[in-house]
């Protein structure tokens, strides 16, 4: 555990490195970096659920879809400023998270998993069917965040957004609330007996994570300029899940590492064909089965002991 000065120094170094990363590389690597940052936000916020409070949502991609489509439809059909649209999408996703969470979580975690899975399928059906509003599988063209399109500017926007999300998550996890999260995950009954309001804690985590997914999805949609039902799809949901599981569930850095590693690896595998989902599936299955704390957990276990 790094503390104080060391942590600040390390974060500053990484941030400086991230700022310099897209300079002098081509448009394609910049695109991969931008999508990686989107996945960093998605995987880290999903990790707040699965890794810290022990609830598995299969509707995280759907919440990103809510953010993207809310903002996209507002901007494309009503001419609303994209930034206002992103805020609206974030609010809507958090409200849906609050509603679904309240409805399911009093019945236990399995209900949340079932309902979020159903929710993501239904959202998909609605988007495909309501062609007039959403343009179905053709995709909805939306305006960008800035008048002039620049990958570099989008990179810095996504980087700031990711840093913001990570900072909020870090603050939550290392506060009293974070202790409550852990308590609820480890032993619900024990947590309740020491006065943790289990239901409140769970619903709060689900609402916050949904809002973050909505925010990330909204920004991502305005970057892609074309929103398709690919965003709220089970494939994207699986992608986020695999990044978290392979990187390391329940650790702060794990999903960040997982998001970059898998997104870059996916681009490499694409050279040979559309096998990346299958490959990630098999890797994720092996990791979840044999190394439930992911690659980060393996590294922690096998790194040479520190010499004090």
Partner 1 sequence: MFAISIMNGLVMGVIYALAALGVSLVVGIMNVVNFAHGELYILAGYFSYLFASALGVNFVLAMVMAVGLVFVLGLLIEYLLIRPTYGNDMYSLILTFILSIVLQNAYLLIFGPYPNKPPLWVSGATDVFGLFLYGNQRLAALAAGAAVIAVIFVIIKKTWFGRIIRAASQDREMAELNGVNTTRLNMLSFGLGCALAAAAGVILAPVFPVTPGAGVPVALTAFVVVVLGGMGSLWGCVVGGLTLGLVENLGAAFISSGYKNVFGFVILILVLLVRPAGLFGRAKV
Question: Which residues are at the interface with partner 1 (CB under 8 A)?
Answer: 50, 54-56, 58, 103-104, 106-111, 113-115, 117-119, 121-122, 125-126, 129, 234-235, 238, 241-242, 245, 275, 277-278, 281-282, 284-285, 288-289, 292
Nearer to partner 1, 50 or 191 (CB): 50
Query: With contact defined as beta carbons under 8 Å apart, do 239 and 282 qualify?
Result: no
Round to whole Å and give the CA distance between 126 and 74: 17
Nearer to partner 1, 80 or 118 (CB): 118
Q: Is 249 helix (H, G, I), strand (E, B) or coil?
A: coil
In the complex, the smallest distance separating the C-beta of residue 227 from partner 1, rounded to whole angstroms, is 20
Phi-psi region of 3 (alpha: psi -120 to 50; beta: other; left: phi over 0): beta
Nearer to partner 1, 64 or 74 (CB): 64
In the complex, the smallest distance separating the C-beta of residue 306 from partner 1, rounded to whole angstroms, is 30
CA–CA distances in Å: residue 93 to residues 61, 174, 301: 11, 25, 38
In the complex, the smallest distance separating the C-beta of residue 292 from partner 1, rounded to whole angstroms, is 6
Of residues 232, 210, 222, the one with CA closest to residue 91: 210
Nearer to partner 1, 98 or 234 (CB): 234
Full DSSP string of 272-301: T-S-HHHHHHHHHHHHHHH-TTHHHHHHHH
Nearer to partner 1, 64 or 246 (CB): 246
CA–CA distances in Å: residue 159 to residues 14, 156, 183, 214: 12, 5, 32, 16
Q: Token pair for residue 160?
A: 């700031």
Nearer to partner 1, 171 or 292 (CB): 292
In the complex, the smallest distance separating the C-beta of residue 54 from partner 1, rounded to whole angstroms, is 5
In the complex, the smallest distance separating the C-beta of residue 231 from partner 1, rounded to whole angstroms, is 17
Q: Token pair for residue 233?
A: 């799809």
In the complex, the smallest distance separating the C-beta of residue 207 from partner 1, rounded to whole angstroms, is 17
Q: Token pair for residue 182?
A: 């852990």
């Amino acid at each position: 555990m790094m503390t104080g000065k060391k942590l600040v120094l390390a974060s500053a170094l990484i941030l400086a490195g991230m700022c310099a990363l897209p300079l002098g590389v081509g448009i394609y690597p910049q695109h991969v970096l931008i999508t990686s940052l989107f996945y960093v936000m998605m995987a880290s916020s999903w990790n707040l659920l699965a890794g810290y409070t022990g609830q598995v949502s299969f509707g995280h991609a759907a919440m990103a879809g809510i953010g993207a489509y809310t903002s996209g439809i507002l901007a494309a059909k009503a001419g609303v400023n994209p930034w206002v649209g992103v805020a609206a999408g974030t609010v809507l996703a958090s409200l849906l998270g609050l509603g679904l969470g309240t409805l399911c979580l009093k019945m236990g975690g399995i209900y949340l998993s079932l309902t979020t899975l159903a929710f993501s399928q239904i959202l998909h059906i609605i988007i495909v069917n309501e062609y007039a509003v959403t343009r179905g599988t053709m995709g909805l063209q939306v305006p960008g965040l800035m008048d002039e399109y620049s990958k570099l500017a989008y990179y810095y926007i996504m980087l700031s957004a990711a840093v913001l999300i990570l900072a909020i998550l870090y603050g939550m996890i290392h506060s009293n609330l974070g202790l409550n999260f852990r308590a609820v995950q480890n032993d619900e009954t024990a947590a309740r007996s020491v006065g943790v309001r289990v239901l409140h804690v769970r619903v709060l985590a689900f609402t916050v994570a949904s809002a973050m997914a909505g925010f990330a999805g909204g920004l991502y949609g305005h970057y892609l300029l074309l929103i398709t039902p690919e965003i709220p799809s089970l494939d994207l949901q699986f992608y986020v899940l695999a990044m978290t599981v392979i990187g390391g569930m329940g650790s702060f850095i794990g999903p960040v590492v997982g998001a970059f590693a898998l997104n870059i690896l996916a681009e490499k595998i694409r050279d040979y064909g559309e096998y990346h989902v299958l490959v990630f599936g098999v890797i994720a299955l092996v990791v979840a089965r044999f190394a439930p704390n992911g690659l980060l957990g393996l590294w922690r276990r096998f790194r040479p002991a520190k010499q004090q």
